Amino acid sequence: MSLTTWQHKDLLDVSDLSTEEILYLLDSAKNFHEINQRPVKKVPTLKGKTVVLFFSEPSTRTKLSFDTAGKRLSADTFALGKSGSSLQKGESLKDTALTLQAMNPDIIVIRDSSSGAASFLAERLNCSVVNGGDGWHAHPTQALLDAYSLRDAWDGKFEGKTLLILGDISHSRVARSNVNLLTRLGVKVRVCAPRTLLPRYLDDWDIEIYNDLHKATRDVDAVMCLRLQLERQAAGLLPNLGDYATRYCLTQKALSFAKPNAKILHPGPMNRGLEIASDVADSNDSLVLNQVSAGVATRMAVLYLYGTRNDTSTVE
């Protein structure tokens, strides 16, 4: 596939992209991954472009990898968080974003606790808006980097593979974006969680649903653990954390039902001993740190495609 122009102004969720565009983006990320292995990791592709990282919610991986990605492409990157900005004085999301736009950036990457925050800004701003995670809604670049990591581990194949997504499906933007993307690429997706952490609209998803971890892991090719958001216990959705860990922590025992060398993913940050056992997180089959490296390459591909969409030069 060769694109003369990238058709999209914004990246709000993976559902914005065709399957062909997703595969094109993953191929671009592979090229950027090779650049990231060089002694000098900087290319001039986005010289003169400005990328703003507008993160009103905490982040380590997404924020740092977008920042690294922008810098490796020679873009100027600037970060704005809740702490130290006028958001703390009560300035609205809209006014903050309009203020940023007046400085004429090319891309704003936004993370916010409100579902729909990215699309709210995209409707109002002329620059590209990339969703770095909005509430429970979507985390498109996480799903793209997860697909990249799995494709690498599975020698380029998605068809015929089975992935289990384990944990708090109900409140997870990572689960939502991954189910959408991976089922379209031919992966059979299972989810496993207590009933209180499964969303009500699961009928819309082409997945298998489990409540029993040992049944759920049977013959899977990979397991993606999700972070248990500890505030769910206060909301009465969990009996207690010890009971949750006994039933849903991914241990070597639970993994023994999966295919040999089944891969382990976690978007981070991990609660070791709660949703994932430490020896599983650190095992040879763990892709957790591969996901972080893939995050830089994938976000380089995203910044490249969205940052050059108005340029007259050819995108290949």
Give the separation between CA 133 and CA 270, rounded to whole angstroms. Answer: 17
d(Cα 154, Cα 188) in Å, to the nearest integer?
14
CB of 288 to ligand CP, least distance (A): 10
Minimum Å gap between C-beta 141 and ligand CP is 9
Tell me whether residue 61 or residue 218 sits nearer to ligand CP (CB atom).
61
Nearer to ligand CP, 6 or 301 (CB): 301
Q: How far is the CB of 98 from ligand CP (least distance, A)?
A: 25
Starting at the edge strand that comes first in sequence, how are the strands of the sheet with 76-81 ordered? 76-81, 50-55, 107-112, 128-134
Pairing of β 76-81 and β 50-55: parallel
Least distance in angstroms from the C-beta of 82 to ligand CP: 14
- Indicate the residue among 122 and 294 with the shorter CB distance to ligand CP: 294
Query: Does position 82 bind ligand CP by CB under 6 A?
Result: no
Cα angle 135-24-151, degrees, rounded to a multiple of 5: 75
Should residue 167 be labelled a site residue for ligand CP when binding is judged by CB under 6 A?
A: no
Q: Which residues, at least 6 apart from 278, have a Cβ–Cβ distance to it below 8 Å?
A: 272
CA-nearest of 230, 222, 236 to 168 is 230
Q: Among 62, 149, 162, 298, indicate the residue that binds ligand CP (CB under 6 A).
A: 62
Q: Which is nearer to ligand CP, 209 or 270 (CB)?
A: 270
* Binding letters toward ligand CP, positions 239-278, x by CB under 6 A: ----------------------------xxx---------
Work out which of 7, 18, 19, 60 binds ligand CP, going by CB under 6 A.
60
Q: Count of residues binding ligand CP (CB under 6 A)?
A: 9
- Residue closer to ligand CP (CB basis): 141 or 251: 141
Q: How far is the CB of 162 from ligand CP (least distance, A)?
A: 22
- Looking at residues 20 to 59 of the shown chain, list those that interact with ligand CP (rule: CB under 6 A): 59
The residue among 268 and 307 lying less far from ligand CP, judged by its C-beta, is 268
Are 163 and 222 a contacting pair, CB within 8 Å?
A: yes
Report if residue 61 touches ligand CP, rule: CB under 6 A: yes
Report the distance separating Cα 142 and Cα 240, nearest Å: 29
* Closest approach of ligand CP to the CB of residue 58, in Å: 7
Q: Which residues contact 299 (CB under 8 A, 6 or more apart)?
A: 65, 66, 68, 69, 141, 145
Contact 177, 149 (CB under 8 A): no
Residue 222, Cα to own-chain centre: how many angstroms? Answer: 17
Sheet order of strands, 222-225 included:
207-210, 188-192, 162-166, 222-225, 263-265
Q: Hey, what amino acid is at 86?
A: S
Q: Which is nearer to ligand CP, 24 or 288 (CB)?
A: 288
Which range binds ligand CP by CB under 6 A, 4-12, 60-68, 84-92, 281-289?
Answer: 60-68
Residues 124-163 that bind ligand CP (CB under 6 A): 133, 142
| Residues at the interface with ligand CP (CB under 6 A) | 59-62, 133, 142, 267-269
